[in-house]
Amino acid sequence: TPNLREWAEEVRALAEERDAVILAHNYQRPEIQDVAHHTGDSLALSRLAAQVEASTIVFCGVHFMAETAKILSPDKTVLLPDPGAGCSLADTITAEDVRAWRAQYPDAVVVAYVNTTAAVKAETDICCTSSNAADVIRSIPEDREILFLPDQFLGAHVKRVTGRENIHVWMGECHVHAGIDGHTLRERVAAEPDAEVYVHPECGCATSALYLVGSGAVPQERVKVLSTGGMLTAAERTSAGKVLIATETGMLHQLRAANPHTVFEPVNPRAECHYMKMITAEKLLTALREGTTEITVEEDVAARARSSVERMIAIGS
């Protein structure tokens, strides 16, 4: 519509005036993904945040992502169009929880998923995202015990793919991905025997997906456990007629644009993250006009978190 076009032009003009780069996560609303300078998964966006030349980063995503950008680029201004855009997974653990857990395992290496607050990152040794979690674990000597936090499903997944026994997993979960459960996946797969399946490792059904393969119910090449960025790469290459997608539904916009020959359908169409959707067209415009809301991280917290985040962006493809 012309309105959307005018809005997009104004957004880009204001970004230029402010010397701002707009980064959007793959779960953002379609119009936000389309207007952003870069759209991607958590790892790709963190790498961009560390590298971009612009003096301001407008982060269209959730609070922990804007904090991560600020940790990596402390001299830049980082704006989050709605500071209330949180994350139910990040909320499952506090810095105090990490200190208490570490006290029980003083020799362990603490690995934190990027979906954590800056204060939690400051208590950890190394961060990871869903796309490099296994590589991060492999970078740690095999004889070291590992505390993996906060996502239980991603934790179980990395345990399986790395074969490491000595990983203790925090029992947190994301309410959106936990809701994409094994029962729903099995029903959908049975109804669509020719479809491929891409599953985000935060999903409650990640274990069922591998069980379906392990039990021989579904051939191995049909099921892939992937980060959102990994799903996009797989979508560009697939020749399948249909792919069932187990992740937040915002992902479908990128997948459909990347490959118009394949039909992409959600495993659970109600899997929507209301935090991600808090970034609206109107709020992005206000953020660019008024320079709101600036995200800051206390310097001593940022300094302690920085090395774990820098290790994360250095590992994996």
Q: Cα dist. 79→23, 82, 287, 288 in Å?
A: 10, 9, 7, 9
Is 202 an interacting residue with respect to ligand 13P (CB under 6 A)? yes
**Residue 207 or 238: which CB sits closer to ligand SF4?**
207
CB of 130 to ligand SF4, least distance (A): 10
Is 106 marked within a binding site?
no
d(CA 40, CA 259): 16
Q: DSSP readout, 178-220? A: HTS-HHHHHHHHHH-TT-EEEE-TTSTTHHHHHHHHHTTSS-G
Helix axes 299-314, 42-51, angle to 10 degrees: 110
Is 33 an interacting residue with respect to ligand 13P (CB under 6 A)? no
CB of 247 to ligand 13P, least distance (A): 7
Binder of residue 275, out of ligand 13P, ligand SF4, none (CB less than 5 to 8 A by kind): ligand SF4
Who contacts 227 (Cβ-Cβ below 8 Å, separation ≥6)? 41, 42, 43, 129, 130, 131, 200, 201
Interface region with ligand 13P, contact rule CB under 6 A, candidates 28-36, 39-47, 97-105, 292-300: 39-47
Residues that bind ligand SF4 (CB under 6 A): 62, 87-89, 115, 174, 176-177, 248, 273, 275-276
Is 60 marked within a binding site?
no
3-state secondary structure 261-303: CCEEEECCCCCCCCCHHHCCHHHHHHHHHHCCCECCCCHHHHH
**Residue 70 or 222: which CB sits closer to ligand SF4?**
70
**Residue 108 or 130: which CB sits closer to ligand 13P?**
130
CB of 217 to ligand SF4, least distance (A): 28
Is 67 an interacting residue with respect to ligand 13P (CB under 6 A)? no
CB of 273 to ligand 13P, least distance (A): 7
Is 202 marked within a binding site?
yes
Strand order in the sheet with 223-225: 223-225, 196-199, 242-246, 263-266
Q: Cα dist. 314→145, 182, 310 in Å?
A: 22, 33, 6
d(CA 164, CA 95): 25
Binder of residue 130, out of ligand 13P, ligand SF4, none (CB less than 5 to 8 A by kind): ligand 13P
**Residue 129 or 259: which CB sits closer to ligand SF4?**
129
Neighbour tally for 59: CB within 10 Å: 28
Q: Which residues 205-244 are close enough to bind ligand 13P by CB under 6 A? A: 227-228
**Residue 87 or 119: which CB sits closer to ligand SF4?**
87
> How many CA atoms lie within 13 Å of 282's alpha carbon, on the beta-carbon side?
1
| Site track for ligand 13P across 156-175, x = CB under 6 A | ------------------x-
Query: What are the counts of helices (DSSP H) followed by strands (DSSP E) for the chain?
Result: 15, 12
Interface region with ligand 13P, contact rule CB under 6 A, candidates 129-137, 154-162, 165-173, 211-219: 129-137
> How many CA atoms lie within 13 Å of 9's alpha carbon, on the beta-carbon side?
6
Q: Is 237 exposed, middle or buried (0-12, 13-18, 19+ CB in 10 A)?
A: exposed
Binder of residue 228, out of ligand 13P, ligand SF4, none (CB less than 5 to 8 A by kind): ligand 13P
Is 87 marked within a binding site?
yes
Is 26 an interacting residue with respect to ligand 13P (CB under 6 A)? yes
Give the residue ranges of the annotated binding site for [4Fe-4S] cluster. Answer: 87, 174, 273
Residues in contact with ligand 13P by CB under 6 A are: 26, 41-43, 115, 129-131, 174, 200, 202, 227-228
Residues at the binding site for iminosuccinate are 25, 42, 113-115, 130, 200-202, 228
